[in-house]
Structure 1
Amino acid sequence: MTKQVPLRLILVVPFVLQIFVAVGLTGYLGIRNGQKSINNVVSQLRSETSNRINQQILFYLEKPYLINQTIAAGISEGQIDIKDIEALEHFSWRLVDKNTVDFLQTGTPQGTSVLVERLEEGFIVARAGNTDLPNRQSHRLDSQGKRAELLETKKFDPRTRPWYEAAVEAGEPIWSKMYVGASGKATLSLSQPIYGKTGNLLGVQHSNFRPSRIHDFLKSVKVGQTGQTFIVDRSGHLIASSLIEKPYTIQDKELEQIPATDSENPVTRAVAKAVLERLGDVSSNSDVSNNQSQQLDVVVDGDRHFVQVSPIYDEQGIDWFSVVVVPEADFTAEIDANTRTTILLCLAALVIASVLGIYTAQWIAQPLKRLSQSSEAVADGTLDQNVELSNVRELNVLACSFNRMTQQLRESFTKLAQTNEQLEERVEERTADLKDTLQELQRTQNQMIQAEKMSSLGQLVAGVAHEINNPVNFIHGNVVHVSEYTQNLLALVHLYQAEFPNSTPEIQNKIDEIDLEFVNEDSLKLLASMKLGTERIREIVHSLRNFSRLDEAQVKEVDIHEGIESTIMILQHRLKAKVNSPTTALIRAYGDLPLVECHPGQLNQVFMNILVNAIDALEEGNAKRTYQEIKDNPNQITIRTAVIDAEWVEIAIADNGSGMPEEIHQYIFDPFFTTKPIGKGTGMGMSISYQIITEKHGGKLSCFSTPGKGCEFVIQIPVRLKE
């Protein structure tokens, strides 16, 4: 026989333990979850802040690169004459005047140079030097970009400048070290050599960037309450900081960067030392050098700080690291106070629960004891028991029920069997109904979720198409008029030349200055290019509207080859040779196709998406190969068309890139799936293409890829659309 425990003890001990354990466990879990939440929040805060800083800094640094690329490409292609000092000066003035950039400079191997700069006083100056070195004249430019007044004349040879020598030596775009610019402020410069079609050096293009913009941006980024951020280069010197006013010193026009470990800010100094001690030299740390962020904890004067180190890197020579520091004290003050309160509550709950438990046990135990004695009598067969009523309402009800039970017990035994049978039948019926209802609810839920997804996607695409459509239609509509006006003006000029062949010297000089013959040819080409560009944007907007089912595209009988050729023409600039890669070969294997009834704009969009993906794949492969390797195994894109039968045609587009693995291949037609980095792709191109081919044209779009051997997209569409 087991040892029996008194009811009083059973009521008191579990009651007290339950309250104490519940309060204590709640407090412990609250503290633990609070600490875990802090770690998660701080980790996310560090990562998000670091990503925001890195993206913004790379955005700042991309602008000079794009400007240099634009000017260098124009000079390399012969669109800009680098020998025409005044024309180059005027072109640079237009870029500066439109707030595209504040500083542009071009130097040549012959010693000529053009510099256009926006000063803090608000006006723009041009400093140009021709071959009669060493003199370079500085002029203030008026609102038309013409020289207004001579400011100074001084000796200057661009070939001796560090930015010129560094670009020529590197043979590619390169950033300089931080130095003191002409304005007396800390400056970084991006220089790019310009080569002709034969590989000869035409000159060097140079743009400036002031690190103070990064400094100001870091000050605007709030990290917790007292957190900070700073940027260091690979040697550990400060580039910018959210707390330090100047992370460098300037003396006698010489700039000296301050090592982060020598910073006047104690937290910055301690964090920098801890980073170097724990991670080692950043130049040899594998994780950081592989563009991966590192998170660590640093204790400064007894206070813990959460730190994240993230690399900032571009191919032009920027090799920095962003450091985000978040003090733990910003988040733990309230948790410490709650911990003390929780401990006091646990002790108070223990005392109160003990007192209440003893009193409650006494109050409940006596009536239950009487009820227990009567129950034993009933079990022995004595059913005429009458339990004394209690002051406790529930126990009083229990006593009354017990008394009635003894009277109804025999009757209940008789009815019990019948009730049990009826209950089993009802349970079975109810279970079947609930099962059917649950299945119906699951189907309805899935339908609602799918409908909501498609509705949200349609609204998103429709909104984008609508916002783009209006300004593009405005530009497109006016290009025709501008073209007509230009042709009329040029015709008028030709008429003047025919009627008055012997013009005045002033007019002839002006004609030579503006290169009228070039303007006559190039202006119409520019207008044609603008018209072609706006038409392409309208086609894209039209495709977006069709994807969101805003309207229906016009169906026409078209020559598929014309659509392919127009798409190739738009992408021709991406197929040309570049400094680091030769021309991409385009192989056309066209069959004799009939006119195909289709939505031509949407079909061209499919060609565009597939060709852009092929070019992107080849360029990604080029980044991993040398120029000679690319030349030995050149890039090529093959476009093949053929008639399948009397009712179907086939278009295949293939590249000889690296292909794609199976885990990516199976998702390429899913909406929003992309392998490209942020800002390079949305994941909608192939999804829209698949919908255009399968739903709009009733055709098939397939992808075949072998890793290492390239990728091929095969389009099959009917010659006549079905109703």
Structure 2
Amino acid sequence: MSTQDLENSNQKTSRKTSLRKVFVLPIVLQIMLAVGLTGWLSLRNGQKAVNNVASQLLNGVTTRVDEHLENYLATSSLINQVNRDAIRLNNLDVENIWNWQPYLFKQMQLFPNISSISFGSTEGEAVWLFRLEDRRLQLGISDYLTGGNIEKYTLDRQGNIIQPPIESFPYDPRNRPWYQAVIQAGNPTWSKIYPWIDGNDSSVKFGISNGLPYYDEQGIRQGILNVHLTLDKISQFLSKLKIGKSGKVFIVERSGLIVATSTSEELFITPDNEQNLQRLPALESSVPVIQASAQYLHKTFLGLTKINQSQQLSFEFNHQRHFLEIKPVTYGLGIDWIIVVVVPEADFMEEINIQRRNTILLWLAALGLAILGGVLTSRWVIKPIISLNKAARGFAQGDWQQKVDIKHSDELGELANTFNTMAVQLQESFSTLETKNSDLQRLDKLKVEFLANTSHELRTPLNGMIGIAESMLDGATGKLSKTQQKNLLMIAQSGHRLTDLVNDILDFSKLKHQNLELQLKPIGIREITEVVVTLCQSLVGSKKLELVNSIPVDLPAVYADENRLHQILYNLIGNGVKFTDTVKVEISVDIIDRQQNSQFNSQHPILK
């Protein structure tokens, strides 16, 4: 391979690869892989953490709501039982309900979340103490003294009745939902949720009552003890719960009607007029996430009646994932509600998004530092290599004055010093080689001159010898015998042969210098072969060997260099004599058909 080929190969290799890339890319790829994998694991663990936190939050909220409901509702049953025992102990008299007012006032102070405490007798008499929205208390009494009407009195802060009554209207407790619910059940029970009007501002509220029948010693029912709770108290508690950033909690009955909600949404609708109030179904809620949650539950469980255990679920709403927990609660006496807590995943994703952003920034920063570090490192390492490469190219182009100046104390510095030493040695070697080459060229020139002079010196006596022999053969010295003629002929032929050998030496010199020219002309192949056979007879010696010229007499002349052909035949026959001991060495010639041997492109006969 030539120097130019090596240079071209190096150029192709340099175009395909770059040491700078070799240094930078692995570092960048490793950093990208490490940071990317770390970020992926971090985000994956973050997602798991979100699910765990959401699960704990939902479970914690439902547990708090469950405990609050249980305590809130249990208070009503406790108050009724205490009042029943007070009647049995004669602390309260069902025949004189006017004496109940101080006792009920104390209870309302002890239980600030109770809306009202009341008693309705089988005779239609009634007493209640009701808490207004502004926390003031109102007393309502209906007996034979009021003529069957309920008279409402405002109490001062000490619980004293402020006269006169603020309102009086017909009232029969036996027609109220709370009374009828106990009569129908025959046992203590909760009423269905029903609307009632606040006596202060006539605002409509929904409530539920816990009723307990009171029987005398003979087992005769004397009336119904009742504690009323408004659902807005439950909603107020729910609204104070922190459920992520935008989570919601609501309570529904199995029918799908909302019991309470953490939102400010009204729990009733008026499709016809204000006198026809209907409770709000969750499917018709004006709060989108509550409506979507109800729709998901109805679709998943084919209604709410089949939900019998706590579950944590998730669903898509507004292209966002929402976590959902449901918990059915039953506190006896007819309560069968479902607590529903829903919170969007986005409420927990703020930290994850911050972490994702920080991961991306870290990834970019690490990538930038990796690239910068790789570039600086590659520049520090590659710069001396480039200097070495440049110097090596200079040497390849014949510039022996190249020197690498690398101030490194590491392997690169050692390589540079070795390179400089090698360069000096190469320069000295090439100088020596050039000197020897000049000497060889001078000696070769002397050899050529010597051969030319020698051939000239040899050619003169040979020509004289040949001339004398041929002149004697021509009869210059008189008639010769056959033996003399034969010997003189051999002398002349040998002289010609020696002359040819001298010419061959000159031709060899010319061939070495690519100056040899063939003297082509038509010659008789048989005649020149006969001359060579005669010259080679002396080579046979004592061998029983016959040299036979079988070339046809009528063979046409061949176009060749006579001297070269003479030399070829002499070598050919000489080798035949040398390697043959008996019989004969025969020389023959055939003409080759050009059509069968198209590889020969000649206009003259081709022999073999």
TM bucket (normalised to shorter chain) is 0.5 to 0.7
The reply to whether residue 317 of structure 1 matches residue 334 of structure 2 is yes
Q: Note the alpha carbon deviations across 1:81-109, whole angstroms, 9 max, x for none.
A: 32222223442233235565441110122
The 3-state SS of whatever aligns with 1:286 is coil
Which amino acid letter does the alignment assign opposite residue 409 of structure 2?
N
Q: Distance in 2 between matches of 1:254 and 1:191?
A: 26
Hey, what does 2:187 align to over in structure 1? 172
Q: Distance in 2 between matches of 1:95 and 1:211?
A: 20
Is contact 1:240-1:246 (8 Å) kept?
A: no
- 2:349 pairs, out of 321, 327, 332, with 332
The reply to whether residue 109 of structure 1 matches residue 122 of structure 2 is yes
- 1:391 pairs, out of 401, 409, 417, with 409
Which amino acid letter does the alignment assign opposite residue 140 of structure 2?
A
Q: Distance in 2 between matches of 1:279 and 1:114?
A: 45
Query: Which residues of 2 match residues 178-257 of structure 1 at below 5 A?
Result: 178-183=193-198, 184-249=204-269, 251-257=273-279
Hey, what does 1:261 align to over in structure 2? 283
Cα offset, 1:170, TM superposition: 1.7
Is contact 1:133-1:156 (8 Å) kept?
A: no
The 3-state SS of whatever aligns with 2:286 is coil
Q: Distance in 2 between matches of 1:176 and 1:254?
A: 20
Query: Which residues of 2 match residues 29-178 of structure 1 at below 5 A?
Result: 29-96=41-108, 100=112, 101-120=114-133, 122-130=136-144, 134-141=148-155, 143=158, 145-146=160-161, 148-178=163-193
Cα offset, 1:79, TM superposition: 4.2
The 3-state SS of whatever aligns with 2:233 is helix
The reply to whether residue 283 of structure 1 matches residue 305 of structure 2 is yes
Which amino acid letter does the alignment assign opposite residue 307 of structure 1?
L
Is contact 2:115-2:230 (8 Å) kept?
A: no
The 3-state SS of whatever aligns with 2:250 is strand
Paired residues in the alignment total 363
In structure 2, do the counterparts of structure 1 residues 141 and 331 end up closer, same or farther at CA, with 3 Å as the change threshold? closer
Which amino acid letter does the alignment assign opposite residue 172 of structure 1?
N
Hey, what does 2:451 align to over in structure 1? none
Cα offset, 1:163, TM superposition: 1.0
Q: Distance in 2 between matches of 1:361 and 1:355?
A: 10
Which amino acid letter does the alignment assign opposite residue 232 of structure 1?
V
Q: Flag the structure with larger Rg.
A: 2
Q: Distance in 1 between matches of 2:267 and 2:146?
A: 41
Query: Which residues of 2 match residues 675-690 of structure 1 at below 5 A?
Result: none
Q: Distance in 2 between matches of 1:78 and 1:84?
A: 11
Q: Distance in 2 between matches of 1:340 and 1:62?
A: 54
The 3-state SS of whatever aligns with 2:348 is helix
Q: Distance in 1 between matches of 2:297 and 2:371?
A: 50
Q: Distance in 1 between matches of 2:26 and 2:296?
A: 52
The 3-state SS of whatever aligns with 1:127 is strand
Q: Distance in 2 between matches of 1:364 and 1:40?
A: 57
Is contact 1:211-1:239 (8 Å) kept?
A: yes
TM-score scaled to structure 2, two decimals?
A: 0.52
Which amino acid letter does the alignment assign opposite residue 283 of structure 2?
T
Q: Note the alpha carbon deviations across 1:217-244, whole angstroms, 9 max, x for none.
A: 2222232222222221111112222334
Q: Distance in 1 between matches of 2:168 and 2:332?
A: 37
Cα offset, 1:312, TM superposition: 3.1
Hey, what does 2:315 align to over in structure 1? 298
Runs of 5+ in structure 2 lacking a partner?
Answer: 1-18, 199-203, 386-406, 415-608
In structure 2, do the counterparts of structure 1 residues 40 and 364 end up closer, same or farther at CA, with 3 Å as the change threshold? farther
Q: Distance in 1 between matches of 2:83 and 2:40?
A: 65
Which amino acid letter does the alignment assign opposite residue 282 of structure 1?
L
In structure 2, do the counterparts of structure 1 residues 362 and 219 end up closer, same or farther at CA, with 3 Å as the change threshold? same
In structure 2, do the counterparts of structure 1 residues 172 and 361 end up closer, same or farther at CA, with 3 Å as the change threshold? farther
In structure 2, do the counterparts of structure 1 residues 357 and 16 end up closer, same or farther at CA, with 3 Å as the change threshold? farther
Q: Distance in 1 between matches of 2:221 and 2:145?
A: 17
The 3-state SS of whatever aligns with 2:106 is helix
Q: Distance in 2 between matches of 1:149 and 1:99?
A: 27
Hey, what does 1:559 align to over in structure 2? none
In structure 2, do the counterparts of structure 1 residues 391 and 129 end up closer, same or farther at CA, with 3 Å as the change threshold? farther
Q: Distance in 2 between matches of 1:124 and 1:141?
A: 6
Cα offset, 1:175, TM superposition: 2.0
Hey, what does 2:591 align to over in structure 1? none
Q: Note the alpha carbon deviations across 1:419-445, whole angstroms, 9 max, x for none.
A: xxxxxxxxxxxxxxxxxxxxxxxxxxx
Q: Distance in 2 between matches of 1:261 and 1:360?
A: 71
Q: Distance in 2 between matches of 1:107 and 1:245?
A: 33
Cα offset, 1:253, TM superposition: 4.5
The 3-state SS of whatever aligns with 1:42 is helix
Q: Compare relative contact order (CA 8 Å, sep 6+) and give the higher one, 1 or 2.
A: 2
Q: Once the two structures are aligned, what percentage of the paired residues are identical?
A: 32
Q: Distance in 2 between matches of 1:348 and 1:11?
A: 15
Q: Note the alpha carbon deviations across 1:233-259, whole angstroms, 9 max, x for none.
A: 111112222334212125544431111
Cα offset, 1:57, TM superposition: 3.0
Q: Note the alpha carbon deviations across 1:503-535, whole angstroms, 9 max, x for none.
A: xxxxxxxxxxxxxxxxxxxxxxxxxxxxxxxxx
Is contact 2:127-2:139 (8 Å) kept?
A: no
Is contact 2:98-2:141 (8 Å) kept?
A: no
